[in-house]
Amino acid sequence: MSHTEKVSEQQSVFFSAEEFSAVKASFYEFSGKTEYLALERYYHLANERSKPSENLAPVKLFQGAFESLLRQKNTSSPTLRQAHVGLKQYAARLSNTVAMLSKAAAPVPRIMHFVWVGGSEVGAIQRDYMNIWRKVLASEGYTFNLWYDSDALLAFEMNRVILDSARVHAMESGGDQVTDPVKLSRMIEDRARVLKRQMADYLSQPQWADRADEARIDLMVRAYGKDRAVLEAFRRKCLDTHLKMAGRICCCGTFVMSSPTIT
């Protein structure tokens, strides 16, 4: 059910049959007046309308007739006072609903954004996914942006190296004798947590400001014995997979996340 239909359903009856009967009884002394006869007509019209926009006019007319009769009474009963408060609140809500639904929706820019947080190369599956959307929506005038952190292209590789090191450490620390997989997993996670904290401290050093990938390369070479040339080549490969989308999807190589958090 749509929002409009829900609103219509909620607003369809502003007085129950019992409440309206009590109102008519309270105004019975005016049963020969035009306003009294109009109450019945407008009440039924309001309850026959299914849309708020169609409901508003008879409700307002009902309110006008009600208040005209109320002014003519010498004393107002609790029933009428309560009904009047409820009627004013209902009419105000209905007016606000109609005004809200009548507003023209603001146009949504025809731009689709892809955010790549993989911290590595864009794979064939991801590239195909983005290209499918591009082909489906390009005829409707859409443009496409691919957002990525150009200084976190080795984040996934750094994380992989840390986990591999944590596994080796766990096995060398008695993990090869552990038969409980949960305990072994906890040993690996505990060591990985220490290594990630060390990595975060290393990347946060002032000399690596805005050079997070260079810091990752340096750390992997110094602490994990990796080959600098291989890592630099892999980083260029990762960047190429992003830039190959240029011309099809606008590649936006600036990302709001700080590099140490994308690991």
| Reduced 3-state DSSP string for 166-224 | HHHHHHHCCHHHCCCHHHHHHHHHHHHHHHHHHHHHHHCCHHHCCCHHHHHHHHHHHHH
* pLDDT at residue 123, rounded to an integer: 85
Is pLDDT above 50 for 165? Answer: yes
Q: What is the mean pLDDT of the chain?
A: 86
- Answer yes or no: is pLDDT of 257 > 60: no
Residue 248: per-residue pLDDT: 59
Q: What is the pTM of this model?
A: 0.56
Q: Across residues 11-21, what is the average pLDDT?
A: 76
Those residues with Cβ within 8 angstroms of residue 131's Cβ, 6 or more apart along the chain or in another chain = 248
Nearest to 158 by CA among 209, 204, 212: 212
Rounded CA-CA distance 133/141 in Å is: 12
Q: Is 255 exposed, middle or buried (0-12, 13-18, 19+ CB in 10 A)?
A: middle
State the helix-helix crossing angle for 155-172 and 181-203, rounded to 10 degrees.
130
Q: How confident is the model at residue 231 (pLDDT cuts 50, 70, 90)?
A: very high
Structure tokens at 151: 């200084």
* Side chain identity, residue 201: D
Going by C-alpha positions, the residue among 137, 130, 149 that lies closest to residue 235 is: 149
Residue whose C-alpha is closest to residue 84's, from 32, 179, 14? 14
CA distance 73 to 226: 94
Distance from C-alpha of 95 to C-alpha of 60, rounded to nearest angstrom: 9
Handedness of CA 207, 208, 209, 211 (dihedral sign): positive
Q: Can you read off the two tokens belonging to residue 262?
A: 């994308």
Give me the DSSP letters along 98-162. HHHHHSPPPPPPSEEEEEE--SSPPPHHHHHHHHHHHHHHGGGT-EEEEEE-TT-TTHHHHHHHH
